Structure 1
Amino acid sequence: MPSRKRVEQFIHAVVHGDHAEAIKEFYHVDATMQENCAPPRCGRDNLIAHEKKAMGSLQEMKTHPPKTVLVDGDNVMILWTFDATDKQGVTRRLNEIAYQIWSADGIMKERFIYDSATAWQVVEPG
């Protein structure tokens, strides 16, 4: 079960740093991530590679500090807002809930839940 402080450290790392580095620091080696109902991606090294590829396709990713964070034993839910600016300068926004299952001080499973009809809508044209 993570402490509230450990979850806050994770959030700080995501908001202020490298997403791939946060995966390396806070996820178990055999962790999984799942987008909505897509099949999960498995293994920390695979998760890091996927994140690096996604971030490499962008000019910038701004992660807003979450306003809602729930910690209940090993279950954590975070309401994230991300603004992704592509290489053409177009900024799109995603609001999602990350549902995480922690084991000790690390994330074992994470599922991202969002409305795919409104995901990544343009907030600033290029």
Structure 2
Amino acid sequence: MPSAATLEAFVAAVESGQHAQAIEDFYTEQASMRENQAEPRRGRAVLVAHERAVLARTASVASQCVRPVLVNGDHVVIRWIFDFTGTDGRRMHMEELAWQRWEGERIAEEEFFYDPAQMKPA
């Protein structure tokens, strides 16, 4: 179960735009991520590489945690709002729920739930 301090540090890292670094700092080596029940990506190195590829296509991203963060033992749910600006100037607003399973102070498994219609640039 993650400590309150660890959860706050994780949220702060994401909100400050350190998305890839947050994966390096807060995920287990064998962590997995999946989106809307798609096939999961596995391994922290793969997760970091994927995040860096996404960020390379963006000029900026603003990330906001909508509180409260819900915690039940090793399970955490965070509601996120992201505002992306692509390198082409297009903007995209996205809201999602991130369901996480923690092992101690690190995330072992994460699944994102969001409406894919949001992926269309505004």
TM-score, structure 2 as length reference? 0.94
Residue number in structure 2 paired with 1:95: 95
Tell me how large the CA RMSD over aligned residues is: 1.2
The separation in 2 between residues aligned to 1:75 and 1:67, in whole angstroms, is 16
Deviations 1:37-65 (CA, angstroms, capped at 9, x unpaired): 21000000000000000000111111023
Residue number in structure 2 paired with 1:12: 12
Residue number in structure 1 paired with 2:68: 68
The separation in 1 between residues aligned to 2:14 and 2:86, in whole angstroms, is 19
Contact 2:65-2:79 within 8 A present in 1 as well:
no
Q: How much has 1:66 moved relative to structure 2?
A: 2.3
Q: Aligned letter for 1:76?
A: V
Contact 1:4-1:71 within 8 A present in 2 as well:
no
| Partner SS state of residue 116, structure 2 | coil
Q: How much has 1:72 moved relative to structure 2?
A: 0.9
Unaligned stretches of 5+ in structure 1?
none
> Identity of aligned pairs, percent?
40
- 1:41 partnered with 2:41: yes
Unaligned stretches of 5+ in structure 2?
none
The separation in 2 between residues aligned to 1:96 and 1:13, in whole angstroms, is 17
Change beyond 3 A, Cα 1:115–1:76: same
The separation in 2 between residues aligned to 1:98 and 1:83, in whole angstroms, is 16
Contact 2:36-2:114 within 8 A present in 1 as well:
yes
